[in-house]
Structure 1
């Protein structure tokens, strides 16, 4: 197991992270979109809790 970890090096050419696009950054900072997502998630939670009672 240790041999595999030694071959994986952070910040190597093959070790990349995803960079968010301009649209994704906009959605993450848009207050209106966050409110909509908040309402949708809460409605889903109400449905799940309602089914369990």
Structure 2
């Protein structure tokens, strides 16, 4: 039984099939201040949802 050769795909090459983050998107993913703001916003929304479910 012969094994087939596996073609390896380099990351971020056109054959890889994923999108490459550009300017604004890369900034939003790496900005600590934005991450803190999003964390607080999500926690406020979760708290409101939990408080509504207890009534």
TM-score when scaled to structure 2?
0.64
- Aligned match of 1:26: 27
CA distance in 1, matches of 2:16, 2:30: 27
CA RMSD in angstroms, aligned pairs only: 1.7
Which protein has the larger Cα radius of gyration, Structure 1 or Structure 2?
2
Larger proportion of helix: 1
Secondary structure, counterpart of 1:33 in structure 2: helix
* Unaligned segments of structure 2, at least 5 residues: 1-8
TM-score when scaled to structure 1?
0.67
Extract structure 1 runs of 4+ deviating beyond 2 A.
none
